[in-house]
Structure 1
Amino acid sequence: MDRRPFIGVSTYLVDASWSDWRDRPVALVPDRYTAYVRNSGGIAVLLPPDAPERAPEVLARLDALVIAGGPDLDPAYYGQPRHPRTEVDSPERDVWEAALIRAALAAGIPLLGICRGMQVLNVVCGGTLLQHLPDVVSPDVHGGSPGKYGEHAVRPVPGTLLGGLLPESELTVPTFHHQAVDRLGDGLRVSAHAPDGTIEAVEGPGFTLGVQWHPEQGEDLRVMQALVRAATAARTMPLEAVEAMGAVVLG
């Protein structure tokens, strides 16, 4: 019997407290991500930030990659000054996730970016971000409330990868974001919008997909199940082939 595919999931770097320990640095990700992978037929493998040149070697041992949500990407990576509402506090994660995405794109490894993950994908491909969506969209329905996800409609684009996975003309999704894609990255196309015009999904060659919402917070497994199927079909490249591509770093 074929093994279940290993799905790498990027992690947060935060200070956390537990038992007798207080404010210790940890690498973690909300359990909804790992449950999302597990309930869709995959095995979640957590990926704490590492040296970016090791990204190809890491991906050689995985079957697919998920870039999780989290804090804002440093706008210096797409050539903009920081907006007063942009929260940048994870430089190691910025570099590491960009390296993972570059390595996944180079190797053709199935890739899913969720919320921040979609934004990093767009920037790695040369795109830019709207740093504070409420400045341009009113009323803002994307941000939820402190500690609570919101909901809004998205409209998949027919004829796209996402449109095939989610064939409804409109569906309601869990959401929590204040940034969004502005200029689309090279090689990507839009595969869903919100009713207010905000780009809600992008996709690229093979199984390269980014969604702006948080599917792991809902009950709909179709996007992750599709990633697991793609990972099962593709598997990983041999380690020697990936290492031959050389180090992949954030430019």
Structure 2
Amino acid sequence: MGSSGSSPRPLVGITAYGERARYGVWDNESVLLPRTYPDVVVAAGGVPVLLPQFPESAAAVDRLDAVVLAGGPDVGPDRYGAEPHPRTGAPRPDRDAAELAVLHRALERGIPVLGVCRGAQVLNVGLGGTLVQHVPDVVGHDGHNPSPGVFGTVEVALEPGTRVSAALGSVATVRCHHHQALDRLADGLVVTGRADDGLVEAVELEGDRWVVGVQWHPEEDATDVRLMAALVAAASSGGPTPTV
């Protein structure tokens, strides 16, 4: 919280992974998140709160000022009426259900939302859109996901007058690691950024609510917290009256 006489720092919920992990003498099922996410939230002026992959985490949204839908494994194609592609990862129904519940509660409350990589895909699917299940099939190269654990460097042209361009300018050089992407856009979402191969890299919700999805990983550049700072600033402003 802020010091006496100052406003409290906004609480920013971040959806977490559920993975088997080893630490110390233990090897068990864990709730975890790369530290880069909470680091950039703190650097941007927020207070990070981890949201485990339980649908009950949606109840915590009522106490939050903003939500970040984190990156991670593929969204289950059953969520958008598709058959699995041979390169689509194993389904994670618990995480899909939890993040969709968190998303819808955040939208109902009218609080700011930032979808990161998988999170942008959850945003699109949650509002009725679909996904490209393997990006190289569409663009003919693997520059958006060079190899496991390696980020690709992608230049993204951003539409003027949008929330993303207000934060980052007309062009952003970003770090990407995704083999899926947005296909048919959900009603209400508009494209606000594309890579030079035409792939959608940023979207946002029409209207006055701060709801943005980006296919890249802004948390991977600790020297540039402008996008997260825009989320925190929107959370600090109180936002519009919920309309969903």
TM interval, shorter chain, is: over 0.9
State the secondary structure of the residue aligned to 1:70.
coil
- Residue 248 of structure 1 corresponds to none
TM-score by length of 2: 0.92
The alignment of Structure 1 onto Structure 2 pairs a total of residues equal to 236
Deviation at 1:88, TM superposition (A): 2.7
Deviation at 1:236, TM superposition (A): 10
- Residue 118 of structure 1 corresponds to 120
Between 1:88-97 and 1:107-116, the stretch displaced more is 88-97
Contact 1:72 1:86 (8 Å CA) reproduced = yes
Contact 1:59 1:236 (8 Å CA) reproduced = no
Matches within 5 A, 1:227-242: 227-234=231-238
State the percentage of identical aligned residues: 47
- What is the alpha-carbon distance in structure 1 between the residues aligned to residue 193 and residue 238 of structure 2? 25
Q: Which blocks of at least 5 consecutive residues in structure 1 are unaligned?
A: 246-251
- Residue 133 of structure 1 corresponds to 135
1:20 to 20, 25, 32: 25
- What is the alpha-carbon distance in structure 2 between the residues aligned to residue 106 and residue 136 of structure 1? 34
Matches within 5 A, 1:1-251: 1-22=6-27, 24-52=28-56, 55=58, 57-168=59-170, 170-204=171-205, 205=207, 206-218=209-221, 219-234=223-238
State the secondary structure of the residue aligned to 1:136.
helix
Between 1:108-117 and 1:132-141, the stretch displaced more is 132-141
Aligned structure 1 segments of 4 or more residues deviating by more than 6 angstroms:
none
- What is the alpha-carbon distance in structure 2 between the residues aligned to residue 113 and residue 88 of structure 1? 21
Q: RCO higher in 1 or 2 (8 Å CA, sep ≥ 6)?
A: 1
Deviation at 1:162, TM superposition (A): 1.2
- What is the alpha-carbon distance in structure 1 between the residues aligned to residue 94 and residue 51 of structure 2? 12
- What is the alpha-carbon distance in structure 1 between the residues aligned to residue 121 and residue 20 of structure 2? 24
Cα-Cα RMSD = 1.8
Distance 1:27 1:145, change over 3 A: same
Residue type at the aligned position of 2:143: V
TM-score by length of 1: 0.90
Q: Which blocks of at least 5 consecutive residues in structure 2 are unaligned?
A: 1-5
Contact 1:61 1:236 (8 Å CA) reproduced = no
Residue type at the aligned position of 1:48: P
- What is the alpha-carbon distance in structure 2 between the residues aligned to residue 46 and residue 235 of structure 1? 22
Residue type at the aligned position of 1:119: Q
